[in-house]
């Protein structure tokens, strides 16, 4: 029986291994993590991450060929194939601070593998890492153990949160990079054999190691670039009276462009896009490719601009001050159908409003109160560590209350900011909400989900990203503020 061990039971490792176990009943899959609480949760009825369809898959396999354990060394030593899916936070100090990924956790995983291995291993990079990490890992492994052969593969994961199970069951492609030597190709084939249980042959792409590593960064950079492109257009639409949804629709009909991923928003979030682009920028800079680095960096700058622009719009619309005003925040997760808040645009928007002394009442159907408070008081980039760093700025959260539903959040509020496109926000009783708000009542829709016409008929003053402006807002152009 082939034995797979995955180091890191997070958003990537957990769902990916669950689907491998589901589709390969003859493979024994163990997911290990240093976090006792995470592993305890994976072994309980309350899984540590919210992901549609995940519970069913885990229930079907757990205890049969899918196991979760904190005994990292034992399972690594017994495995034939080891996936590594540990954190790669952005460095906050030293060389490459603010851009380069911190590979401490990767390196410690590699050294541990070298220490405990007594048989040949295939080591698979699952978490996104800089190009040429595989080479570094290979060196650590081979210099630290003799008589054991290691093959390193890069098998980046393309799943998106909220649709992870569907993405894993029916992937656009599976990418496997390996050494172009006979042993390297044998390892590629071994991993291909795993995926072949359910993925059609023509969707399994094999490349060299560096191409696979770079493809992951490139795919995320292209996706993020589409959002920054449409968000840049949204600013121009507001200035000219065009409607960004109509523009997106018209542009997306061109089959060379395609209709997906063209929704204007308050900004993209998630653990990957910003981190991977910063990583790409850093690699370009290290290779002396200044213009290429600047090109990709602009994608992040436009994203920051979009979040900042949204805050400016809120403040300038409300008579240039939100001081002491209650503002309802609907949605805190970085997108719908996930409880994940990593790099969510809600953090920057809330911080901006708190900086202007607003009182926030926040509701999200999946994000816990302590997570929101932690996010609002954490330093940039500190979230991505296995042992979470302590919050450093707790003062801001004194102006925040977290509530249990949208009606409570909006009661007596001056304005509403919709920051996540949860389906339940589309069917709210806005007449009831309006009746219970201070007047004039404002809605700022950062996800373009409300019916603008209907809300204006009720009496709201409505701002929706990239849509023709309410006459009220036209007279109050967003002023440029210092960050
Ligand atoms: C992304 C990639 O899609 C996935 O392939 C990769 O493996 C990990 O990174 P994820 O971050 O989970 O996945 O979600 P995604 O659906 O890509 O959304 C990222 C952000 O972009 C979200 O904040 C989302 O709201 C935003 N977005 C997405 C838009 O603002 N507009 C869009 O049209 C699409
Ligand atoms: C373009 C648009 O495609 C068309 O919709 C619009 O109406 C007019 O402008 P055109 O300039 O005729 O059409 O040719 P196009 O095929 O778009 O190519 C433009 C340039 O991009 C060419 O120099 C082409 O060689 C280059 N190109 C195109 C690339 O370098 N790589 C590609 O993948 C595609
Ligand atoms: P991703 O979204 O890439 O899956 P997560 O942060 O959700 O990232 O998951 C990474 C997991 O890796 C965390 O649960 C963390 O505890 C675990 N981890 C980090 N370093 C190690 C290590 N050396 N050994 C085992 N697990 C680790």
Q: CA 172 to CA 300: how far, in whole Å?
A: 26
Query: Which residue's alpha carbon is at the smallest distance from atom 3 of ligand 1?
Result: 160
Query: Which residue's alpha carbon is at the smallest distance from atom 16 of ligand 1?
Result: 160
Residue 85 Cβ inside 6 Å of ligand 3? The answer reads yes
Q: Tell which residue, 51, 55, 18, 13, has the closest CA to residue 34.
A: 13
Report in angstroms the alpha-carbon separations of 244 from 150, 255, 286.
Answer: 51, 19, 37
State ipTM.
0.96
Domains delineated in the chain: 3-199 (3.40.50.720), 239-474 (3.40.50.720)
Rg (alpha carbons) of the chain, rounded to whole number: 24
Q: Tell which residue, 335, 13, 33, has the closest CA to residue 168.
A: 13
pLDDT for 483: 42
Residue 218 Cβ inside 6 Å of ligand 1? The answer reads no
Calculate how far, in angstroms, residue 84's C-alpha sits from the geometric centre of ligand 3: 9
Residue 445 Cβ inside 6 Å of ligand 3? The answer reads no
Residue 161 Cβ inside 6 Å of ligand 1? The answer reads yes
Beta bridge partners of 330: 363, 418
In a 13 Å sphere around the CA of 81, the CA atoms on its Cβ side amount to 26
Calculate how far, in angstroms, residue 268's C-alpha sits from the geometric centre of ligand 1: 7
Query: Which residue's alpha carbon is at the smallest distance from atom 5 of ligand 3?
Result: 10
Which atom of ligand 3 lies at the shortest distance from residue 14's CA?
A: 4
Ligand showing the shortest atom-to-Cα distance for residue 276: 1
Query: Which residue's alpha carbon is at the smallest distance from atom 26 of ligand 3?
Result: 33
Residue 335 Cβ inside 6 Å of ligand 1? The answer reads yes
Which atom of ligand 3 lies at the shortest distance from residue 38's CA?
A: 14
Q: How far apart are the first and last CA of the chain?
A: 57
Calculate how far, in angstroms, residue 168's C-alpha sits from the geometric centre of ligand 3: 19
pLDDT for 396: 74
**Which residue has tokens 């180091």?**
7
CB-CB contact of 261 with 231 (8 Å):
no
Cis upstream peptide for 440 (omega within 30°): yes
Which atom of ligand 1 lies at the shortest distance from residue 272's CA?
A: 9
Beta bridge partners of 418: 330, 445
**Which residue has tokens 């919210």?**
50
Which atom of ligand 1 lies at the shortest distance from residue 340's CA?
A: 12
Query: Which residue's alpha carbon is at the smallest distance from atom 19 of ligand 3?
Result: 86
Please report, in tens digits, the pLDDT of each residue of the chain (483 residues total): 899 999 999 999 999 999 999 999 999 999 999 999 999 999 999 999 999 999 999 999 999 999 999 999 999 999 999 999 999 888 888 999 999 888 899 999 999 999 999 999 999 999 888 888 888 899 999 888 878 999 999 999 999 999 999 999 999 999 999 999 999 999 999 999 999 999 999 999 999 999 999 999 999 999 999 999 999 999 999 999 999 999 999 999 999 999 999 999 999 999 999 999 999 999 999 999 999 999 999 999 999 999 999 999 999 999 999 999 999 999 999 999 999 999 999 999 999 999 999 999 999 999 999 999 999 998 877 777 776 566 667 767 889 999 999 999 999 999 999 999 999 999 999 999 999 999 999 999 999 999 999 999 999 999 999 999 988 776 655 544 444
Active site (catalytic) residues: 272
3-class DSSP state of 281: helix
Q: Tell which residue, 130, 86, 139, has the closest CA to residue 111.
A: 139
Indicate the DSSP class of residue 356.
T
């Amino acid at each position: 029986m082939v034995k797979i061990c995955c180091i890191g039971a997070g958003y990537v490792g957990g769902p990916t291994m669950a689907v491998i176990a589901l589709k390969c009943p003859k493979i024994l899959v163990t997911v290990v993590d240093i976090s006792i609480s995470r592993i305890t949760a994976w072994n309980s009825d309350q899984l540590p991450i919210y992901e549609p369809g995940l519970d069913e898959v885990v229930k079907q396999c757990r205890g049969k060929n899918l196991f979760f354990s904190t005994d990292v060394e034992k399972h690594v030593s017994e495995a034939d194939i080891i996936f590594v899916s540990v954190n790669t936070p952005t460095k906050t100090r030293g060389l490459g601070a603010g851009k380069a990924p911190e590979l401490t956790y990767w390196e410690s995983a590699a050294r541990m593998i070298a220490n405990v291995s007594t048989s040949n291993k295939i080591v698979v990079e699952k978490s996104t890492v800089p190009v040429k990490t595989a080479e570094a890992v290979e060196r650590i492994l081979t210099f630290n153990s003799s008589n054991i052969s290691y093959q390193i593969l890069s098998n980046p994961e393309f799943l998106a949160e909220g649709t992870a199970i569907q993405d894993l069951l029916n992937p656009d492609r599976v990418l496997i990079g390996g050494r172009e030597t006979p042993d390297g190709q044998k390892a590629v084939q071994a991993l291909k054999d795993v995926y072949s249980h359910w993925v059609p042959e023509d969707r399994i792409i094999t490349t060299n190691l560096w191409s696979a590593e770079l493809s992951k960064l490139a795919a995320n950079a292209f996706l993020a670039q589409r959002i920054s492109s449409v968000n840049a257009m949204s600013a121009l639409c507001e200035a000219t009276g065009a409607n960004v949804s109509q523009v997106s629709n018209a542009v997306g009909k061109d089959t060379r462009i395609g209709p997906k991923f063209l929704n204007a928003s308050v900004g993209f979030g998630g653990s990957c896009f910003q981190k991977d682009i910063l990583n790409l920028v850093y690699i370009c800079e290290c290779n002396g490719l200044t213009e290429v680095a600047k090109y990709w960096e602009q994608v992040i700058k436009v994203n920051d601009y979009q979040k900042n622009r949204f805050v400016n719009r809120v403040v300038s619309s409300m008579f240039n001050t939100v001081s002491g005003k209650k503002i309802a925040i609907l949605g805190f997760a970085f997108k719908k159908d996930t409880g994940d808040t990593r790099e969510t645009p809600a953090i920057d928007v809330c911080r901006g409003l708190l900086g202007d002394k607003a009182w926030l009442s926040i509701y999200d159907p999946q994000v816990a109160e302590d997570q929101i408070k932690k996010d609002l008081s954490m330093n940039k980039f500190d979230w991505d560590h296995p042992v979470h760093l302590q919050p450093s700025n707790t003062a801001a959260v004194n102006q925040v209350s977290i509530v249990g539903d949208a009606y409570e959040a909006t009661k007596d509020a001056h304005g509403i900011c919709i920051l996540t496109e949860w389906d339940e926000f589309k069917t709210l009783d806005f007449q009831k909400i309006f009746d219970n708000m201070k007047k004039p009542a404002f809605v700022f829709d950062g996800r373009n989900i409300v019916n603008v016409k209907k809300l204006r008929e009720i009496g709201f003053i409505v701002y929706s990203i990239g849509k023709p402006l309410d006459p009220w807002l036209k007279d109050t152009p967003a002023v440029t503020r210092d960050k």
